[in-house]
A = this chain, B = another copy of it.
């Protein structure tokens, strides 16, 4: 039923990099279907996710520039546009202004699908902060009375992408996405982030693991390839559909 002629995917990410590891497959799939895909990085992850650069003695501006370039390359590899809000990380501070900027993005892009972090993450408070703002802005953008250009937003489905320690974040996947057709693009995007080389294999392994589970939940009869690769998501609002499947 939610089958608009032109899809528009919006990914709200706390740090540059998150969208690659956690949602690269979904982004590449959207791009391959000819949909618009836009990533908003609220920060560069300059303080909390750049340990190697700090150890190498880089300063804050240098690190932000590096992270920006990496994220731009990764987004290009996935077929997405990326925008940077440069709101600072560790901590990423929630503010009415930041939420308002997100409302403007929602009104501009009219996303048909939204991806963001989980609302719980005991290892990184920026992730829930990003998710809360992404969700709040989506509701505000729906109100005709909210003062921002563009039409009121519909009710695009929202999915949480997978955190690093899923069980500790109460992440119980209820959607398993087959990313086999685009995994090469996801791998290339990951390789745009050389400072985190140890993650390339880690997230390749995770894709295999989620692929095994995907096949287990699809049954043996669906003709999925032996090496199915997957990403896991949690759906936030009820699915609206014309047929159970």
Contacts and interface: CB of A to CB of B under 8 A. Distances in A.
Contacts of A46: 145
Contact of A140 (B90, B143, B243): B90
B243 A145 contact: no
Contact of A113 (B50, B221, B245): B245
Contacts of A188: none
Contact of A174 (B4, B164, B239): B239
A187 B96 CA distance: 38
Interface in A13-37: 26, 29-30, 33
A149 interface: no
A116 B33 CA distance: 35
A2 B218 contact: yes
Interface stretch (A69-77, A78-86, A165-173, A189-197): A165-173
A98 B111 CA distance: 34
B125 A216 contact: no
A145 B244 contact: no
Contacts of A212: 202
B113 A219 contact: no
A239 B171 CA distance: 15
Copies of this protein in the assembly total 6
Contacts of A177: 241-244
A26 B220 CA distance: 25
A30 B139 CA distance: 34
Contacts of A165: 213, 216
Interface string A106-119: 00000011010000
Contacts of A176: 238-241
A183 interface: no
Contact of A143 (B33, B51, B217): B51
25 contacts: A1-B222, A2-B245, A29-B243, A29-B244, A48-B140, A48-B145, A48-B146, A51-B145, A51-B152, A55-B144, A60-B145, A90-B146, A112-B245, A113-B244, A125-B139, A125-B140, A154-B220, A154-B221, A155-B216, A159-B244, A168-B172, A168-B173, A170-B172, A176-B238, A202-B208
| Interchain residue pairs A-B with the least CB separation, the first 10 | A154-B219, A47-B145, A155-B219, A154-B221, A218-B240, A54-B144, A48-B143, A167-B172, A205-B205, A175-B239
